[in-house]
Chain A
Amino acid sequence: MAQTATKDKETTDPSSTIITGKAFVVGRNVDTDQIIPAEHLVYSLDDPEEKKFYGRYSLSGVPDKQSGLPQGNIPLVEEGEFESEFDIVIGGPNFGCGSSREHAPASMQIAGIQAIIAPTFARIFYRNAVDGGFIIPFESEEDLSQIIETYDELEINKEDQVLINHTQNKTHNLRPLGSVEDIVMAGGIFEYARKTGMIE
């Protein structure tokens, strides 16, 4: 879970209980071409210098008006930067639909995002986020993209499965992680498989 910390961001231990930070809000059906446009899929994810570009272009395909709701015209990552000032992305239904590119959840992690919360996720994005141990995909009971505003200060309590919005003084329930919880807590499919003795 190593992150390149350019803004003194704290790296998160997958088993820690609390995630805190600033919200970045987008709408429904944000597909993987919006999360990381295909033209940027050429950079190496193994080379630390090239890899940073995934952070720079994360969510850069979202139309300007829908980027950083409700106001809009707010990029996840400022032009020329590699890391975001935001920590938690709030999406509408069907977040991550479209292609199977794992570069999508990876780009969000590289930008410094720690969690994505949406009422529903597209299947492959959700699986990639979990199996790759990039960011934790939490399902919310309501469509929080209609309630939470970009820049709101949030706190996720994994154990109690709640999201506290300190800016709006509201608490929202999150759904249990269910069958993927063990993989999330282990930090990914490889870590899980080693823990359970499936691979050495």
Chain B
Amino acid sequence: MTLTEKIIARHSGKSEVVPGESVWVDVDVLMTHDVCGPPSIGIFEKQFGKDARVWDKEKVVIIPDHFIFTEDKYANRNVDKLRAFAADQDLPYFYDVGTDEYKGVCHVALPEEGFTRPGEILFGTDSHTCTAGAFGQFATGIGNTDAAFIMGTGKLWVKVPETMKFIFHGDDMPDYLMAKDLILKIIGDIGVDGATYRTMEFSGTGVQQMDMESRMTLTNMVIEAGGKNGVVDPDETTMEYVRKRTDKEFTPVYSDKDADYHSVYEYNMEDIVPMVAKPHSPDNKATAEELEGTELDQAYIGSCTGGKLSDFKAAARIIQGRELKMDTFVVPATTEIANGLHEETVNGQTLYEIFTQAGCHIGNASCAACLGGPSDTFGRLQDKEACISSTNRNYPGRMGSKNAEVYLASPYTVAASAVTGTIADPRKFISN
């Protein structure tokens, strides 16, 4: 069996499952946030009663992150609803806005807080919940109704997915390349529905040498190919990260060598060059080199996909000592990463110093303009701007305006473009 099949089998009380089979599984973690939490709670209370208790308060995690730094009265009311529910249910894992507990983007906060444990099942009311598969967890996005069902029962039905395997060969990632380039390449090759209903499993020496943040970039974007979940077999890198963040017991599982796969794709990392997804689809692929000279109005570095500490370190390597040619927004995914900007250095300067000296606009940890949001959202596109972004989606209107054009790229390519004024190939700034 594959890693995904093994986790589903174990959580459904079966010795074996096969793709296509529908089974009920026991849930280890349910995560929700400020956009989908309130309606999920509404359904939970309607279906199970006003006095109903969640099935296991240790397993419900609420991370407000979407519409946080806004004057929008409805958005703020929704955070109040989460607050009231967390207090009423006495939930230990509620990361409230305006407190020291506040984290920011859920998909990066979940690993930081030790909820992405290998071999477990995580459901979240957000499509990028698949990010946690980087840790060898079965993790996927669900809607409000399913979340409410889990709140009351601790169970959910799943259809066992087939697995597509993606192998990256090569011992060292070329210095100008990032995991974002690899996943944009895959999505460009298989299309935005190329993995619909399936698992995307990443392996090979190229993946083994990646740190957790890079693996998270790969699994984060499987939803952009329609994937149900993404996984990487856990290894020492995984264990080291998870053990630092939690004392809870867990049992990792691994794909069998003779497991059946829907298909296998192989790539040599040396053959891949910096990639860009053109408007208005993540599979509208081009190389950064092909798009050189394309006019831009704004650069954006942030989100669960491209707002992690290693993403900012990459951007800082290029921005350091150079002049920005456009508005450049920097939004750390979490408060831990925001603190890291003051600690992590490039050539003796902190990332924060590098970004502020260059004139970047630095925002508070949250999803911010990745998904547009209320009109006063930091970095949001308002009209016909062209933006290059380290985020995950560029369908019409995603970053706030359906007249805008969004190019998706790695933090290297975004930074190279920000200091050039047009789309630029980062290989001009970073050689191998």
Contact B145 A190 (CB under 8 A): yes
Contact B196 A122 (CB under 8 A): yes
Complex Cα–Cα for A120 and B193 (A): 9
Contact B192 A128 (CB under 8 A): no
Known: A124-B141, A127-B143. A39 touches B400 (CB 8 A): yes
Contact A100 B126 (CB under 8 A): yes
Q: Which one of B66, B67, B149 lies within 8 Å of A190 (CB-CB)? A: B149
A15-23, A43-51, A73-81, A141-149 - the one binding chain B: A43-51
Q: Which one of B72, B142, B157 lies within 8 Å of A100 (CB-CB)? A: B142
Judged by a CB distance under 8 angstroms, whether A132 is at the interface is yes
Contact B372 A128 (CB under 8 A): no
State the main secondary structure of chain A at its contact with B. Answer: loop
Interface residues in B186-206 (C-beta closer than 8 Å to A) = 192-193, 196-197
Complex Cα–Cα for A39 and B371 (A): 8
CB of A131 to closest CB in B, whole Å: 5
Interface residues in A138-195 (C-beta closer than 8 Å to B) = 179, 188-190, 193
Complex Cα–Cα for A10 and B286 (A): 48
Contact A42 B72 (CB under 8 A): yes
| Identity of the chain A residue whose Cβ is nearest the Cβ of B228 in the assembled complex | A123
Chain A contacts of B226 at CB under 8 A? Answer: 94, 97, 122-123
Chain B contacts of A132 at CB under 8 A? Answer: 143-145
Judged by a CB distance under 8 angstroms, whether B74 is at the interface is yes
Contact A43 B74 (CB under 8 A): yes
Complex Cα–Cα for A42 and B74 (A): 5
| Identity of the chain A residue whose Cβ is nearest the Cβ of B403 in the assembled complex | A63
Judged by a CB distance under 8 angstroms, whether A93 is at the interface is yes
Chain B contacts of A71 at CB under 8 A? Answer: none
Contact B192 A127 (CB under 8 A): no
Judged by a CB distance under 8 angstroms, whether B252 is at the interface is no
Known: A127-B143, A131-B143. A42 touches B193 (CB 8 A): no
Q: Which one of A44, A62, A99, A199 lies within 8 Å of B38 (CB-CB)? A: A44
A1-9, A27-35, A83-91 - the one binding chain B: A27-35
Contact B393 A98 (CB under 8 A): yes
CB of B18 to closest CB in A, whole Å: 14
Chain B contacts of A122 at CB under 8 A? Answer: 193, 196, 226
Q: List 9 extra interface pairs beyond A29-B281, A123-B228, A124-B143, CB under 8 A.
A: A31-B393, A37-B372, A41-B66, A42-B374, A46-B38, A50-B74, A98-B395, A100-B143, A189-B157
A interface list, Cβ under 8 A from B: 29, 31, 33-34, 37-39, 41-46, 50, 61-63, 93-94, 97-103, 120, 122-124, 127-128, 131-133, 179, 188-190, 193, 198-199
